[in-house]
Each structure stands twice: as structure tokens, then as C-alpha cells.
Chains A and B, each alone.
Chain A
Amino acid sequence: MTDRIPVVIDPDLADLVPGFLNNRRRDVEKLRAQLEAGNFADIRMIGHSMKGAGGGYGFDPITDIGAAIERAALAADSATIEQGIAQLADYLSRIDVVTGA
């Protein structure tokens, strides 16, 4: 699973995307800490935010992962949350952002 994932983004959002992705990397750490603390309410909020904004920035998988984490947090399903965190970390490590024409 080391293949790179090119993502073409809207040039109007080029200056915002690095900050957005940095925040998602921070989310990985936050989600891990909250899962360890069993704080499903905060996990749900993070998943909810990822779901809302990911696709808009051009990263549909972030929306999908966020939705799965949100659902799992509601069900207090730690295993699925852990799986979502791993998917997010993997996705973030493999994307190559390409600014569209």
C-alpha cells in the first residue's frame, strides 16, 4: 500500500489545501488520543467535520472516512474507529496534491 495517490484540486483552493491537510494530520493524533480516553463524543465531532469539508476541498475519501468514524463513534465501536484512523493516516501519507488548470 505504498502507491502514491494524485489528487487534482481547484486552483482557487491551492492556498487553503496545505492548512486543511495539516489539520487532518492533527486529527489523526487527536482521534488516537480521544479513542484511548474513550471520548466518543469528541471523536464523533471530528468525524463530522471531516465528512463536511473533505469533499469540498477535493478529498472525497476524507469525507467517506469521516462519515465512517462519526457512525462508529455513535455506536462506540472502537475497532471501526481505529480502522478509520489508520485509513486516514494512510491516505494522508500517500496523496500528491496537483493544482488543476
Chain B
Amino acid sequence: MEAAKASAGTVLLVDDDQDMLNLLSKWLQGADFVPLLASSGEDALRLVSSARPDMVVTDLFMEEMDGMTLVTRIHAENPLTPVIMLSGQARIPDAVKATHLGTSAFLTKPIAKEAFLAEINTHIRPRRPEGASAFGRNIIYRSDVMAELLEQAELVARGDVTVFINGETGTGKEVLARAIHDGSRRSGHAFVGVNCGAIPEQLLESELFGHEKGSFTGASNRHDGLFLAADGGTLFLDEIGDMPLGLQVKLLRVLQDFEVRPVGSVKSVPVNVRIISATHNDLESLVEKGEFREDLYYRLNVVPLKMPRRAERAEDIPLLLDHFLAVNATRAGVSRKRFAPDAVAYLAGAAWPGNIRQLINAVELCSTLYTGDIIPLAMAQRALRQQPVQFKTLKDAKAEFERNYLVSVLRISGGNVANAARIAGRNRTEFYKLLNQYDLDAASYREANGGQDDD
């Protein structure tokens, strides 16, 4: 992580004026960037291919290959490489064309050092250097706050201590938990996640610790539970603050004894899991109110990590916008759209109360509703106005709960629809209708040699 932050990034400068190259190169070096210099478009293309710079800054007017041609050729092979265009003329048609070709910014010379470096800092996406740690390689960031968090998380991953992640909904707590698992010696085993707030107490107990056949109505098969499913690996307990008090004491016992006792069993089974728990709640205040056990709190909160809110990661927003635009384009099988520079600036400064979910929704809305290549500021503003806060509607929240409930019931009944329907208090016809409604297939929950439906 340190190595990744040592250089602010590599910037390829392209200009056929050596004095200009020298000047910009000096400014970049002073700001800890590594400059690469090319005096022609052809030289630049060779360097893009061999040195893979994090960003390109090119002059518009050059004798052999002009900046417009260069940016087109760079993006043909490297669509995510940001390019800034410099021009001696503030001509609107040039700026419009450059924007349509996907340049991140169109700047007019002469330019002041501070303004130049501000644009570089806004648009660059440093790539991890060769040999740098691969920890958190799937996490998109360039902000210091995330770099510091991942630095701590990488240290934590090397050990085997219990980790507690606090952060608002949609800040990426599970993504971080998975990165810690992937970076740990447990990475060859399972990472199992469960949302403790989405499952009723009785089902959660069986879901976590397993149950014996016949231990309760509808338990027609033995069920191992998630602790055993995660044996050797990591169990991620999301929304731990919503875990009922009755279960908290059972969880505490597992953490103390490293054994689980399935519901209806007299025997405990040893387990070897690392626990990563997370919540959006202030767990300390829940402890004060008596809603969360203090002893469990201290058992879980060995290493606390705090996820920053999306608004605290303004520098990461342009990267995230780029990423989700690319994801949408791939999914829809269409060419990738871009946000206009003023739209990026607007979105980077937004509050994002709904965190990543709101950002993804805004990008999807813009990608879907705007038919051009460059999404303008007005469309970005409209997208945010239409999603002021990403609270789920009551209907969506109920649907999410119902689906999670059905999944739990299917797991516990080993995919046996008759038993699952009995647990849910529905007849089989109604239960099948519910499964269809949520696109759930009972067969995929049947374990080998058990759980066959008794149709």
C-alpha cells in the first residue's frame, strides 16, 4: 500500500515544443508525479503501449499527428486512460470535439501551475506499480482516506484477529470484509456472509449454527449452518447490531469456545472461522441502552475499521463513475458513455446520502435515459434530483425481507418444499407461487442424499 502511494502517478506529456515539455515536466516532478516526455504523437503511442502511463496530457496543435487524432488512437486501445488536451486557442468547437472524443479536460495555454496540477489531480487514476501489494485490488479508490483504511486492513488480514467494520449502509463494508478474507491465509477456504438483520431470530439461529433432523417442525433434514460452511475460512456477520439478544449470548459462546452446537443437538462441533462483523449502527450506544451485550461487543471489536462515507471520498467519485459507466456499457453491449467534465465535478461534490447504491442508480439512470455519448451536467443533476435519498420504498424493503426469509427457510428445510411451506405457514401452492415470484429454485437448496421433496 505504501509503495502504491509513493508516486502520485505517471503522466505522459506530448508536445512538439521542448520548452513546454520541460516546463510541465518540472511542475509534475514537484508534485511527485513521474513525467514521461514525447515530442510527437507517434512517440506518444509507443510510450502509451510500453510504459502504460496513468494519464496523458497532449498539445492540440502538433505538426505531424494532432492531439485529436492522438486521443482517438490512445482510447482505441486504452479507453480508461484519462487524457487532458492543451490548446493555445480557446475555441469552443475544439473543446466540444475534444470532449466528444473522451478527453477529461480541455485547457487553454498559457496555464498556471496550480490550475494545471489541479486538473491532473482531478482526473488521474494511478495504477498500482508492479510488485506492489495486490491487497484490495478490486476496490476502486485513489483517496488518502481509503488508502489509509486499506493499509490498516492489509495488516489486519495478515493476522487472524476478529475485525469489526463500522460504516453507513452502502459504503462497501462487505467489499472490505471480502478483501481481508482474500488477503488472509484463509483465502483458500470459504467466505460466507449473512445479514443478521434480515432473518427472524429462530431461523437465524438455525442458519448460523445448523440443526439436527426433526429438531423443530419442518426440520426434515440435518442442516450444517453457516459456521460450519465457513470452517477454515471467514464468516461475515453483517448488521450485527440487529442480532437479537437471545442469539448474542449463543454467538458469544461460539467465540469463546470455538465450538457450535446445532439446534436440537447435544454435541458441540469444533469450528475454525475468523469472524468479521459489521454494522451501520453505533454499537457503543446500543450497549449503553442494553440492546447489545457489552461482553460480545468487546469480543467482536478487537480491531475496529471505519468505512468512510462516499462524500468523504470525493476524489474516488470520478473513478467510480468511470467504472460503473464501463460496467453498464458491457452489460448493455453498447459503447461506453462518459460524463462531461462539469458533470463529473458536480457529481464529485455531491453529498451522496445513499452512498454507493445511489451512485450506481444515478449512473444507470444517466446511461439509460441519455442517448448521446457525453452525459451533460443537466442530466447528472436530474439523476440526483430524482434520487434525493436512497431509502428503499416500503414495497422494496418488504420484498427484500420476504426473499431473504424464503432463502433461509429453503436452506433450513434442505430444499424440501413441503417442509419449507409448513415452516412458513403457507400451503404448498402458495409457497410455490412465492418461490416463482422471487425466482427461487428449491432444487438448488437440496443437499446430496436428502431434502428431496415429498411431492
Contacts and interface: CB of A to CB of B under 8 A. Distances in A.
B26 A13 contact: yes
A13 B23 CA distance: 8
A39 to B, nearest CB: 14
Interface stretch (B105-113, B242-250, B252-260): B105-113
B2 interface: no
6 closest residue pairs by CB, A with B? A55-B110, A52-B109, A49-B17, A53-B19, A56-B23, A53-B20
A5 to B, nearest CB: 19
Interface residues of B, number: 19
B61 A53 contact: no
Contacts of A34: none
A53 B17 contact: yes
Contacts, number: 52
A49 B19 contact: yes
Contacts of A13: 23, 26
Given A54-B110, A55-B110, A48 B61 contact: yes
Interface string A20-41: 1001000000000000000000
12 contacts: A12-B27, A16-B23, A19-B22, A20-B22, A48-B61, A49-B17, A51-B109, A51-B110, A52-B88, A53-B20, A56-B110, A56-B111
A52 B116 CA distance: 13
Contact of B113 (A19, A49, A56): A56
Nearest to B116: A56
Nearest to A47: B88
B17 A52 contact: yes
Contacts of B112: 55-56
B26 A52 contact: no
Contacts of A70: 88
B26 A53 contact: no
A65 to B, nearest CB: 12
Interface of A: 10, 12-13, 16, 19-20, 23, 48-49, 51-57, 63, 70
Contacts of A63: 110
B131 interface: no
B110 A52 contact: yes
Contact of B88 (A10, A20, A51): A51
A10 B88 CA distance: 22
A31 B23 CA distance: 23
Contacts of A10: 113
Interface string B75-99: 0000000000010100000000000
Given A12-B30, A63-B110, A52 B20 contact: yes
B338 to A, nearest CB: 27
A63 B182 CA distance: 55
A48 B19 contact: no
B26 A16 contact: yes
Contacts of B18: 23
Nearest to B110: A55
Contacts of A23: 18-19
B19 A20 contact: yes
Contacts of B30: 12
Nearest to A56: B23
Contacts of A51: 88, 109-110
A99 B142 CA distance: 35
A48 B88 contact: yes
A36 B111 CA distance: 32
A10 B27 CA distance: 10
A56 B24 CA distance: 9
Contacts of B20: 49, 52-53, 56
A53 to B, nearest CB: 5
Interface string B146-182: 0000000000000000000000000000000000000
Contacts of A49: 17, 19-20
Nearest to B30: A12
A6 B27 CA distance: 23
Given A13-B23, A49-B17, A56-B110, 17 more contacts: A12-B30, A16-B23, A20-B23, A49-B20, A51-B88, A51-B109, A51-B110, A53-B23, A55-B112, A56-B20, A56-B23, A56-B24, A56-B109, A56-B111, A56-B112, A56-B113, A63-B110
